[in-house]
Amino acid sequence: MDKRAAGLLLGFLLFVISLLSIILSLVGVSLTFLKPLDDLGFLFSTTVKGLMLFGGIILVYILQTNNKNY
């Protein structure tokens, strides 16, 4: 697996996990490994999850664009 594929996988997983955790936090459920983040408060944890969401989108977008100038 090359670096680009690993980055795309990381960005996609970051996007999916953060989107799922935001949806679950609206219902009142949290993912086990993000429980310490949820214990810090709703506003802070939602902000961090939103940053994770946009970070995943930006990572996938940057890796999908062909930025090689030949």
pLDDT digits (tens, 9 = 90+) for 33-45: 999 998 999 899 9
Asked if pLDDT for residue 70 goes beyond 70, the answer is no
Q: What are the percentages of helix, strand and coil residues in the chain, rounded to 5?
A: 80, 0, 20
- Which pLDDT score, from 0 to 100, does residue 69 have? 62
Asked if pLDDT for residue 68 goes beyond 90, the answer is no
Spans of all domains in the chain:
8-64
Q: What does R_g of the chain's alpha carbons equal in angstroms?
A: 14
Question: To the nearest whole number, what is the mean pLDDT of the chain?
Answer: 91
